[in-house]
Structure formats: C-alpha cells, structure tokens
Structure 1
C-alpha cells in the first residue's frame, strides 16, 4: 500500500505543477506584457480560469496531507525549517485569490482596480518563486535537523536554509516553467488576432527556462551541491531532460500549425518530464540536510495508517478525478473530446 500512497503523492504533485503552475504563469504573462496586452490577457485569463482556479490548489493540500499522515518525519523537518517561505506562499495564494475575484466583481471602477491588478500580478510572481525556493531549500543541503537546532542561530536555521543563491535560482527556474506552460496553453484560448502575443511569450519563456535551468545546474555543479551532481550522474534524469528538449520540436511544429490539443499535450509532457527528472534524481533521499541525506521512507507511519490512507486515496480519487475532468471539460479547459 505504500506504493499507492507514493503514487498519489507524485500524481498530486504533477497535477499541482501543471494546473497550479499554469494558474501562476498566467499572472506572470500578464505582468510582463504591455498595457494593451495586459487588458487582453486579463480578459482571457478570467474567461478561461475564472470558473476553475480554486480547483487548481487542492493538489498542494493533498500533497501536504499525504506528507503529514504517511511521512511525519519529513513533514516535521520541512514545517520547522521552512515555515517562513511556506507561510509566505499561503499569504501569496490568498492575496492572489482575493485580488483575482475583486478585480472582476468590484462594481466600482476606481483606483482600487490598480491595487487588485498589482496584487494579482506580483503575487503570481513571488508565490511560484517561493515554491521553487522552498524546493531548493529541501535539496540544497542547508536544512538543519531538529535535534541539532540548538547549535545554530536563528538565521542559520530559518533563513539560510532557503534564502540562498541556489534556492533563488531554483525559484526563478520554476517561475519560468510556469510562464512557459501558461503562455503555451493561452495560445489555444486566444482568437486568431491575438495568438501571436502568446506565441511570442511562449518562445521567450522557453528561452528563460533553458537559460535559468542551465545556470542552476552549472552553479550547483561548480559549488558541489550533492543533488545536482547526482542529477547529472543519474541516467534516467538526464534521459528525461534530453527527451524534454526534443519535445520542443513537435511542440513548436504544432503551435505553428495551430493544433491546440497536441500543443497542450507536448507542453504538459515537457513539464512532467522535467519534474519527473528532478524527483527521481535523488529518490528516496529527497531531503538533503547539513547532517546528511534523509530517505523519504525513513520514519514512515505504521502499516495500519498507510493502509487506511491508501484506501482513502483510491476512493477519493475515484470520486474527485471524474468530477475534475467534467469541470475542466465544461469550461473548455479540455478540448480533446471537442469536434
């Protein structure tokens, strides 16, 4: 049953990166646009994401619940060491949601609209940036285990673990990945006159993803980060990264030909392969601390808990996934069944 739990953990993470990432990326695309294009993107975003944006964030909740119930040792260490960025992420998601709703439904059009727009756009940038920095903290080797906290000061324990160059580069890479995913998906939602806007944004985001990813790997390798060295030496991770680069060819062919379904498929596939490459590079020793590497399978909850959790996830999946599919299809987010 532990493999069922691990499957749902990975599955929920993938869905959050795809759906939540596209959600965040839409705000990034809007921020880095001209005033005229910002209005176009704003209308497109609300039409596409307005009815379903809340559903995009249930997956991160599922990830946290699975960690809490099944892998309490990991959950405890992450919650203690990274509580500052995690709290800021929650604030960012809240501010983004509030501003997203108020800028559309506020009946009074005045200066407050500028505040709503600004909150939405900037929270769309710093929230995925902090998500990436949090993951960077997990793999950077800077986290200090709870039993050693007394040997370090506040800054070393709660700041340096995630606020460093490596984590910042990881955050920039993830933000670029979100922008790439969103810009590519928005191509299929724009009318013919505006498609070129998102094609250009997708091309720019692709370049930023490649550059930021390359800088991240080079920096990590030069500075002897364990995760990066193991990532480079892992044949599966390197193969997935190589395959994701090759996927750019059919992706851009289908974008140029206006194939909405296939372009979305290849964009999603590319992101999934990149995330999968990062996940398997060091599995199960995902958490790297100053005191050494810690396996995800150490300190697992009792078998009785894992069994109940696994059954609950299976039943919940059978209930939630068809409903999610119907929701996305109803609001034209899934086009594969359309004529």
Structure 2
C-alpha cells in the first residue's frame, strides 16, 4: 500500500508540473509579449484555460494532503522551515485567481482592467518562481532542523534555504519550464496568426529552459551541491537526462513545424524524464538538510493510515481521472482524439 501512495504522490506532482505549469506559463507568455500579442494571448487564455484552470491545481492539493497524512515529518519540515515562500506562493495563487476572474467578469469595464491584467501577469511569474525556490530550499542542503539559537539566526533557519543563488536558479528554471509548457499547449489552441507566435515563443522558451538548466547543473557542480552531485553519480539518472537532451532535437523541429500532438507529447516526456531522474537519484532522501538528509520513509504514518490513504486514493482516482479526461476532451484539449490534426 505504501507504494500505491508513493505512486500517487509522484503522479500528482507530475500532473501539477505539466498542467499547473502550463497554466502559470500562460500568464508568463502574456507578460513577455508585445501589446498586440498580449491581446491575442488574453483571448486565447480565457477560451482555453477558463474552463479548466481550477482543475489544473487540484494536483498540488493532492500532493499536500498525501504529505500531511502519510508523511508528517516531511510536511512539518516544509511548512515550518519554508513557511515564508509557501505563504508568498499561496498569496500569488490567490491574487492570480482573483485577477483572472475580475479581468473577464468585472461588471464595470474601466481602468481597473489594466490593474487586473498586470496582477495576473506578475502573479503568474512570481508564483512558479516561489514554487521552484521552495523545491530548491528542500534540496539545497541549507535547512537547519534545529531551533533558532545563538548559533543559528532567523535568517539561517527560515530565509537562507530558499533565497540562495542555487534555489533562485531552480526557481528560474521552473518559471521558464512553465512558459515552455504553455507556449507548446497554445500552439494547438490558436488561429494561424497566433499559432506562428506561439511556435516562436515555444522555441525561445526551449532555449531558455536548456540554458537555465545548464546554469543549475553548472552552479551545483562547481559548488558541490549534493542534489546535483548525486544525480551525476547515478548512471540511470544521467541516462535519463541524456535521453532528455537528445529528444530536444526532434522536439525543436516538431515545435517549429507546429505539430500539435507530438510537440505536446515530447514536452510532457521531457518533464517526466527530469522528475524521474531526480527521484531515482535521491529516493528516499528527497529533503537534504545541513550536513545530512531526511528519508521520506522515516517516521511515516502507521500502516493502517497508509492503507486507508492508499484505498482512498485508488477510489478517488477511479472517479477523478475519468472526469478530468472528459473535461479536457469536452473542451478539445486532447488533440489526439481529433481528426485531421496538423
């Protein structure tokens, strides 16, 4: 039953990175567009994301609930030592949701629409940035599990882990990844003029993801961050990353050609390979603290709780996943089911 819970934990995290990441990325694409292209993107986002944007974020809730119920030690470390970026991330999610609704449904159309547009774009950029920094804080090795005392200041315990250059680089990587996922998604959701724009942005985002990813690895290797060092010392993880790098070439040409189905498939595969490589290299020691690591399998919930959680997740999966499939199919976001798709 424990492996059932672990599967859902990884699966929910993967879906949140892909679906939630594409959701955040829509605002980032809009942010880095010309005024004219922002208008096109705004209409496209409303039509494409409007019906499903809330469903995209159910997966982070599942991740949090699984950690809270099944792995309380990990949950405690996150909410205590990283409460500042978590609060900023939740604030960003809230402001983004408010801005998304009011910029389309406000009863009075006035200059406040400009405020909502700006708030949506900025929060779409900041939120994934903090999400990446939270992950960076968890794997940076800078977390101090001991309480604040004469030897460890408030800054050392609650700010340093997520505000280091390494954590910021990971935040930048995830932000770029979100823009890439969104641009690839929007290629198949726009008219011919907009399609060319999103193809161009997806190609630029691919290059940015590659460059920032290189910075993360280069910085991690140079300063001997355990998270990066362990990955390059794990043959299977290196193989997965190598495959990911090789697949960038066909993906680049698929994006350039505007191929909707296969560009989305390769984009999702890229995320899967990166997450799997990190998972294989570090499982079960996902959180790296000052001088050591914390095993995900230590101090977990009792077997009865894990079994109940696993059964609940299986039942919920049988209900939620078909519903999600039907939702995406209804709004024609599953292009593989459409005929004559380019």
TM-score range (shorter-chain normalised) is over 0.9
Deviation for aligned residue 1:65: 0.5
Aligned counterparts of 1:53 and 1:190: Cα–Cα separation in 2 = 17
Deviation per CA, 1:137-157: give whole Å up to 9, x if none. Answer: 000011111x44334211111
- In the alignment, what sits opposite 1:25? 25
Q: How does 1:70-149 map to 2 (within 5 A)?
A: 70-145=70-145, 147-149=146-148
Contact 2:28–2:179, Cα closer than 8 Å, also in 1: yes
Deviation per CA, 1:205-240: give whole Å up to 9, x if none. Answer: 111111111111111111111111111111122111
SS of 2:288's equivalent in the other structure is strand
TM-score (norm: length of structure 2)? 0.96
Q: Does structure 1 residue 236 correspond to structure 2 residue 225?
A: no
Runs of 4+ residues over 6 Å off in structure 1: none
SS of 2:224's equivalent in the other structure is coil
- In the alignment, what sits opposite 1:293? 293
Deviation for aligned residue 1:279: 2.2
- Structure 2 gaps, min length 5: none
Q: How does 1:256-267 map to 2 (within 5 A)?
A: 256-267=256-267
Aligned counterparts of 2:335 and 2:10: Cα–Cα separation in 1 = 25
- In the alignment, what sits opposite 2:152? 152
Q: How many residues align?
A: 338
Superposition RMSD on alpha carbons, in Å? Answer: 1.1
Q: How does 1:131-280 map to 2 (within 5 A)?
A: 131-145=131-145, 147-150=146-149, 151-280=151-280
Aligned counterparts of 1:280 and 1:139: Cα–Cα separation in 2 = 14
TM-score (norm: length of structure 1)? 0.97
- In the alignment, what sits opposite 2:48? 48
Aligned counterparts of 1:32 and 1:254: Cα–Cα separation in 2 = 23
SS of 1:149's equivalent in the other structure is coil
- Structure 1 gaps, min length 5: none
Aligned counterparts of 1:286 and 1:256: Cα–Cα separation in 2 = 37
